[in-house]
A = this chain, B = another copy of it.
Amino acid sequence: MSKHEAVPANNGNAAPEAKLSRASVQRFSLYLRHLERWNAEGLQVVSSSQLGEALGINDAQVRKDLAYLGNLGQPGIGYYTQELITALRHRLGVDRAWTAVVVGVGNLARALLRYRGFGEQGFKFVALFDADIRKIGQAVEGLTVHAMDDVSSVVRATQAELGVVAVPAENAQSVADSLVAAGIKGILNFAPVTLRLPGAVSLVTVDLAVQLEQLAFLVHLAQNE
């Protein structure tokens, strides 16, 4: 992660939410996943220790995180599942639709476009781009592949907010620069490079090698301790 990936600086208020860490942001998504599942299973009330156990962290951290959403917990009772979900979705900004474009129409992009989880969470892909002239004009998962020269006009026309960078490492920075110039507000980067972005543009990097490495580490720990 570069420093540009940090949560935006606070606006001068001393509110507790002003210093939300990247780790907290990640936990909010995980809380939401577990709560949605438990809610579907009929669980009306959850405790901070249930959430803590699900995420492998302690109750105190859960309560501290959830305090960011306001005064939701009931001492001795816990949190009302649906109320917590609504508050989290609102706070995460996922109680509205988000539009995204994808640059680099390879295997990863195709996998992403078919991944039904995105639609369920309110994410809508509105355009695709590729530098390969043979792909331009093709329809992939119902979307037309545009030329890189059209990033600016298409992003403006579709009012897309998020951009997914699924190109080789050596092209990722120039693609990101084009997206930023076109007005994209956040980038999900799958290329194994650290992108340099203006502070106002948010960045999440998914390094698949890091994920596999984590797994190796957990297995290594299990075998050696």
Majority secondary structure of chain A interface residues (helix, strand, loop or mixed) = helix
Contact of A225 among B18, B188, B218 (CB under 8 A): B18
Segment 74-119 of A: residues with Cβ below 8 Å from B? 91-94, 98, 100, 106-108, 110-112, 114-115, 117-118
For A17, what are the chain B residues with a Cβ–Cβ distance below 8 Å?
Answer: 225
Q: Determine whether the beta carbon of B7 is less than 8 Å from that of A209.
A: no
Query: What residues of chain A have their CB less than 8 Å away from a CB belonging to chain B?
Result: 1-3, 5-8, 10-11, 17-18, 20-23, 25-26, 28-30, 32-33, 37, 53-57, 91-94, 98, 100, 106-108, 110-112, 114-115, 117-118, 120-121, 123, 161-162, 164, 185-188, 192, 194, 200, 202-204, 206-225
Which of A2, A18, A111, A224 has most B Cβ within 10 Å? A111
Known contacts A6-B56, A108-B111; is-contact A210 B30 (Cβ 8 Å): yes
Contact of A215 among B18, B33, B187, B210 (CB under 8 A): B187
